[in-house]
Amino acid sequence: MWRFEEKARDKGFSKIAGLDEAGRGPLAGPVVSAAVILPDSFPVSDISDSKKLTPKKREQLYEEIYRHSTAVGIGIIDPVEIDRINILQASLLSMRLSVNNLNPKPDCLLIDGIFCIESSLPQEPIKKGDALSISIAAASIIAKVTRDRLMERYSQEYPQFGFAKHKGYPTKTHKEAIQKFGCCPIHRRSFRGVKEHLG
């Protein structure tokens, strides 16, 4: 899991940030990105792609990543902006924001996926990076837990939609709730599954 970081270090980089996002597929809520710089001495061994972990394990690792990281940055783009610029652009923008929120600043970026972000920093997109790079895997955990917590908060505001359970993803229950109650302010109005129900 360290080989991309080691390759970057061999090129002379020392503050290598892994980037990932959570929430491209849901019908509601923001897209959230995280950027994480890990020290060489990072002691946590069981980091992997957030999708492969139980919610309990993700929460535990979230705390440990924050405790032992050199830096963590978060970027959040709300549904209104997602509708305005489209989900891909919103995801890339949220990643850029997460990098801007890092302190200290990184000197190199490892990005989950196939796209680069708008930045003058050297960067490497890595397909399935959350399973191949420890920094990206750590970022995937931070992004996922941050977004899940936001959706749990929205669930209290809009209890009829059950956001705490499905986190805004297009489950059967969520689709039925949209049919019954229409849309709420955090629904993505440009998404299929939502736009048909705009009254």
Q: Which string of DSSP letters, residue by residue, matches 14-44? A: -SEEEEEEE-SS-SBS-EEEEEEE--TT---
Query: pLDDT tens string for the chain (199 positions)?
Result: 999 999 999 999 999 999 999 999 999 999 999 999 999 999 998 898 788 899 999 999 999 999 999 999 999 999 999 999 999 999 999 999 999 999 999 999 999 999 999 999 999 999 999 999 999 999 999 999 999 999 999 999 999 999 999 999 999 999 999 999 999 999 999 999 999 998 7
Q: Would you state the structure tokens that stand for residue 199, as one six-digit string?
A: 């009254």
Cα dist from 193 to 44, 90, 106, 110, 169, whole Å = 40, 19, 39, 33, 10
Hunting for tokens 């399935």 — which residue is that? 128
pLDDT of residue 81: 98
Residues 6+ apart with CB under 8 A from 12: none
Domains of the chain, each with CATH number or no CATH: 3-194 (3.30.420.10)
Nearest to 112 by CA among 133, 83, 141: 133
Q: Using DSSP, state whether 187 is helix, strand or coil.
A: strand
pTM (two decimals): 0.96
- Distance from CA of residue 117 to its chain's centroid? 14
